Amino acid sequence: MDKMNNINDVIDEILVSEEQIKRRVKELGEEISRDYEGKEVCVMTVLTGSFMFAADIVRALSVPARVMCIFASSYEGTESIGKVDIIKGRGFNVKDKDILIVEDIVDTGRTLSAVTKVLMDEGARSVEICTFLDKPERRVVDLKPKYIGFDIPNKFAVGYGLDYDHRYRQFPFVGVLKSEIYEK
Instruction: Kindly list the catalytic residues.
Output: 107
The predicted structure's pLDDT at residue 26: 98
User: Which letter does DSSP use for residue 119 in this model?
Assistant: H
Q: Which DSSP helix (H) or strand (E) runs through 177?
A: strand 174-177
Q: Which residues of the chain have pLDDT under 70?
A: 1-5, 73-85, 87-90, 184
Give the burial class of 175: count Cβ atoms within 10 A of its Cβ; 0-12 exposed, 13-18 middle, 19 or more buried.
buried
For the chain, domain boundaries: 3-178
Architecture (CATH level 2) of domain 3-178: 3-Layer(aba) Sandwich (3.40)
pLDDT (tens digit per residue) in 134-157 = 999 989 999 999 999 999 999 999
Rounded CA separation 137/80 (Å):
14
Bridge partners (DSSP) of residue 88 are: 70
pLDDT (tens digit per residue) in 156-178 = 999 999 999 989 999 999 999 99
